[in-house]
Amino acid sequence: MSGVGITGLIANLAGTVTPYPTQNPSLELGGFQQTATLASRDLIPANFRTIGMVVVTQDFGIAYQLVGGIANANWQLFCTANSAAVATVANWYVDSVNGSDTLNTGQSVGSPFKTVEHLSQVMCPGGTAIYLQQSTNIFLAAGSYGSLDLNVKWSPATTFYGSVLSIIGAISSTANITLATATAQNAGARTRGELTTASGTFVNRARIRQTSGTQTGSLAWSSGLNGSALDTFIGPWINFANNSQAGPVAGNTVVVDTLLSTIAQLNVQSSGLGYWQIKDCILNSVAALALGPTTTGGGKAPYVDGCLIQQATGGFDVVQSFGGIDLYSCFVKGMWLYGDDFEMRGCTLNGNNSLESGTFLNLGVTILDAGTISLASDNRGGYATIKTSDNVEHENGAGLTAYTLAAGCMMICGGSQHWGAASGGTYAVGLSLASGAWVGVTAAATISFPSTTNYSITGHAIAYAGIPLGYPRANCGVFLNNDPAAVAVTT
């Protein structure tokens, strides 16, 4: 079809009182158009399309561009800022197996996005902040995901802690297992937590969730089978909903959970009076895993609840915090912790875990299950610190050094007990202190878990009962947090 020549501008007739539009964008070839929804965008006829054309869907104000072709599969995000409508979406869905970034809205189970990178660009294009207007959920179906990068702010109208961004993974669970016995941890009696059943199967180091009884929803992790799959030792219980440390009793039911959603990298910035949390995910990276920067402006630190945080094969993983992260009922395996402040409650530490210089870790009720913690320092004056505010159990430590403190690092044990059962495996070394490192305890018996060498202090083997003890020339040792018998030394 030949074109129609035009020698001037298309305009209203001279003298027109009320001007009229001169063209309808939806009738143009290519260019910049608007459609009501994503579905109507996909119905634009092929003879109206050109590579490079841009379409804005009016429902959420999201722009798409045809790149490399004119089929629906060629639509890509074309955004420089998010729309206000995106901030009102309460639920987002991503499915790495069955989703689509070009054909789906991401706002229902039946229309999920395929990648978290696409979701990141829809919510926070180019890293721009999204001002969430309500609590918002991101549901990740079973599968593996790349990098989720969000910059989240909350409306000034948000009340204190009144809004939350939740990233929720998928899980599969066994049938209910009825407990024949349920033994609670007892630090004073050195009794390990333990569950037995007449039927059902426990899995070593798998997550266990209570499904009946007063503490329904409580989580813990297996710390080793006791002779058969009908009997498992168990780490500390935490009920995230009510902060209780109580677990099930005989006759209650539990299930063994398998986490199905893996995220390679997570970066969330947040500010305002809301907060964010991630639940039921595997955080598994071959490069760096960053949780943070965290909340500023009066909100509270984010939560990581019931997740497996582990080092990928051949990888080097970092959990990074700026402002604080609270980990509840997580299994932390072979991680490098870096940043301002970490708090762990109900967690299991397995493998070699390191605290980078300047990092502070507050251990609530926790278990080291074949796990170690190394505290690092550097020549810039940064020193890692551990404070324990609740009992810490130590098991399955054959051949390992539980705690290694570099020069300048410190470990402060409050009214807590560092304990372990004699049958649970003996650590080779309890605590190893380099020159310049210090440990503070309430009493000599505060730290008493089984180890062949209790303390190694600047190369000297010291029994638990041999403290308080210091080496002034090496500036290291173990002191009592409150020591009225201490003698002042003056020079």
CA dihedral (105, 106, 111, 114) positive or negative? positive
Question: Could you tell me the residue ranges of all domains in the chain?
Answer: 21-78, 172-259
- 200 CB-contact burial (10 Å; exposed 0-12 / middle 13-18 / buried 19+): buried
Kind and range of the H or E run holding 117: helix 116-123
Rounded to whole angstroms, how far apart are CA atoms 353 and 201? 30
CATH of domain 172-259: 2.40.10
Residuewise pLDDT in 10s, the chain (491 residues): 566 666 666 676 776 666 766 666 767 776 778 888 878 888 898 888 888 888 887 766 677 888 889 998 888 777 655 567 788 899 999 999 999 998 899 999 999 999 999 999 899 887 888 888 889 999 999 999 999 999 888 766 666 567 899 999 999 999 999 999 999 999 999 999 999 999 999 999 999 999 999 999 999 999 999 999 999 999 999 999 898 999 999 999 999 999 999 998 888 888 777 888 999 999 876 344 445 444 444 456 788 999 999 876 544 456 666 667 889 999 999 888 877 788 899 999 999 998 887 788 888 999 999 999 999 876 555 688 999 989 999 999 999 999 999 999 999 998 789 999 988 789 999 999 999 999 999 999 999 999 999 999 999 999 999 999 999 999 999 999 998 888 776 65
- With beta carbons less than 8 A apart as the criterion, state whether 59 and 40 touch: no
pTM above 0.75, yes or no: yes
d(CA 177, CA 255): 6
Rounded Cα distance between 50 and 194, Å, is 66
What tokens does 476 get? 């290291």
Positive or negative, the CA dihedral 468, 461, 391, 337 is positive
